[in-house]
Amino acid sequence: MQTNELTREINTLLRPRAALIAYSTDGGGSHYLELRKIGPDGRMCEGVPVTTEFIDKLIEGYSEHRSTTPYGKLPENMLWSNTRKGCEKYVWYNPPCKRVMYFHTSLGIEDGEYNLPGVIYCVSGNSLDIYAYKDETLTPETPLYAAPFFNVTGSRVCLGNAAIAKPSDLTYEHLIEYWEKKFWLTEFLHLGGAGNPTRSNLVLVTKAAGKAPFNTDELIPLGEMKLKDILK
């Protein structure tokens, strides 16, 4: 019987190669790290001091493997990037365009391509906010509107059932692609907690956008909120 990859990994014999031993004084005021290779017979060999170069390489390798910081050329539609640890935030936009959208059967809207207004995305940590805009050219004073979509309350997105793998090579382009797929490949299902994000019924507004450009008169302002309010 052929075993699967997981079974093969479990059954693989791991052999000890080295031991990292930490020493300290009773009060903890002084510390010392020692590396001991382990021979084929399982015995530890003579210890050698761990160098700062070794620790730097260890940390560098771990950091690169676990990094959630994007890199590379900034896309033209990126408006804001904060890569500081614990303060990560990325803001970008899409001009008015068409997109394929998927809907739960209970809404009575066919899956297909729909016209959209301009959209601004804001990722902070593991959260996604989305806004609509009308201006032809974005400026700090551009007013923000409620995004005319299901699964959104105010600006906060309820991320649904789209199983999208996080990119292993986290360029800015891949970061944008990942979050946009998380939103657009999710099945649109329900109104947000604030009710209709458009002046008319959202179902009717969405259906109309399948046949004509999106009617931006349907957009509702988010109070006095402007683009500059999220670029910080």
Reported as a single tens digit per residue, the pLDDT across 72-131 is 999 999 999 999 888 899 999 999 999 999 999 999 999 999 999 999 999 998 899 999
- The predicted-structure confidence for 156-171, as pLDDT tens digits, reads as follows 999 876 678 888 889 9
CA separation for the pair 121, 79 (Å, rounded): 10
* HEC-encoded secondary structure of the chain: CCCCHHHHHHHCCCCCCEEEEEEECCCCCCEEEEEEEECCCCCECCCEECCHHHHHHHHHHHHHHHCCCCECCCCCCEEEEECCCCCCEEEEEECCEEEEECECHHHCCCCEEEEECEEEEEEECCEEEEEEECCCCCCCCCEEEECCCCCEECCEECCCCCCCCCCCCCEHHHHHHHHHHHHHCCCECCCCCCCCCECCCHHHHHHHCCCCCCCHHHECEEEEEEHHHCCC
pLDDT at 136: 95
Q: What is the pTM for the complete model shown?
A: 0.72
- Please identify which residue in the block is written with the tokens 């003579």: 46
Q: Taking all residues of the chain, what is their mean pLDDT, rounded to a whole number? A: 87
Pull the structure tokens for residue 227. 């683009």
- Return the domain boundaries, the chain: 14-66, 78-229
Residue 150's CB is within 10 A of a number of other CB atoms, namely 23
Per the CB < 8 A criterion, the answer to whether 38 and 18 are in contact is yes
Split at pLDDT 50, 70, 90, the class of 33 is: confident
Percent of the chain with pLDDT over 70: 87
Q: What is the amino acid identity at position 171?
A: T
Sheet of strand 48-49, all strands in order from the earlier edge strand to the far edge: 18-24, 31-37, 48-49
